């Protein structure tokens, strides 16, 4: 009898939690802050650019797709804010000084990329694979462009040089990450739209 009551209570609690879409969005936002932080620690330094490869793009794009533009962007803004406040969520350091370094433009682009990805995907009632891919490609492009634009004044280089060291090396990896993110989202799309506002 006790087991049945306990199981019914758990089922009711889960149903109530899932039906409260704003509670789910808050939980999803927190989870993507953590996921983006963990993605920063999957880091591969490259000898020809001051910007390392990381797994963060995968989580940034997925945050916008799953949570929508508002909560996706919020998750990345919270991540950025925690790092700016000196909490060690960035792989290479923390604080405003780190954000003013070579990776600062990319990290700032996370907020815009998540917003754009979420906005584009949610603009379709039931986004197909091609639209999901295009939405995530647009988000990834935002990250690379904001990052490269930041490198121009920071390193005193030309836009062409910024493209060579700040965009070109990351295209193959970003295509793989966004393709995987698109596949994950495609399989979760219907459920995500029910759970997150």
Answer whether residue 13 is part of any domain.
no
Measuring CA to CA, which residue among 188, 171, 170 is closest to residue 49?
Answer: 170
Question: Can you say whether the dihedral through the CA atoms of 74, 76, 82, 84 is positive or negative?
Answer: negative
CB 195 within 8 A of CB 21: yes
Answer whether residue 15 is part of any domain.
no
Answer whether residue 11 is part of any domain.
no
pLDDT tens digits, one per residue of 144-196? 999 999 999 999 999 999 999 999 999 999 999 999 999 999 999 988 888 88
CATH number at residue 151: 1.10.1760.20
Q: Which domain holds residue 127?
A: 21-195
Tell me the angle at which helices 104-122 and 56-84 cross, rounded to the nearest 10 degrees.
120
pLDDT tens digits, one per residue of 108-126? 999 999 999 999 999 998 8
Find the largest Cα–Cα distance for the chain: 73
Answer whether residue 104 is part of any domain.
yes
pLDDT tens digits, one per residue of 48-83? 999 999 999 999 999 999 999 999 999 999 999 999
CB 65 within 8 A of CB 72: yes
């Amino acid at each position: 009898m006790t087991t049945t009551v306990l199981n019914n209570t758990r089922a009711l609690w889960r149903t109530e939690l899932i039906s409260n879409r704003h509670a789910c969005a808050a939980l999803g936002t927190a989870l993507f802050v953590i996921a983006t932080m963990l993605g920063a620690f999957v880091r591969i330094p490259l000898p020809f650019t001051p910007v390392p490869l990381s797994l963060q793009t995968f989580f940034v794009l997925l945050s916008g797709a799953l949570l929508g533009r508002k909560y996706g962007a919020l998750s990345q803004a919270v991540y950025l804010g925690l790092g700016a406040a000196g909490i060690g969520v960035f792989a290479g350091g923390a604080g405003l000084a780190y954000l003013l370094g070579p990776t600062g433009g990319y990290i700032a682009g996370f907020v815009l990329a998540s917003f754009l990805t979420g906005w584009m995907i949610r603009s379709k009632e039931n986004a197909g694979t091609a639209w999901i891919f295009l939405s995530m490609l647009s988000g990834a492009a935002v990250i690379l462009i904001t990052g490269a634009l930041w490198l121009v004044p920071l390193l005193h280089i030309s836009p062409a040089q910024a493209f060579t060291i700040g965009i070109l090396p990351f295209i193959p990896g970003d295509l793989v990450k966004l393709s995987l993110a698109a596949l994950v989202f495609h399989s979760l799309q219907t459920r995500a739209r029910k759970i997150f506002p």
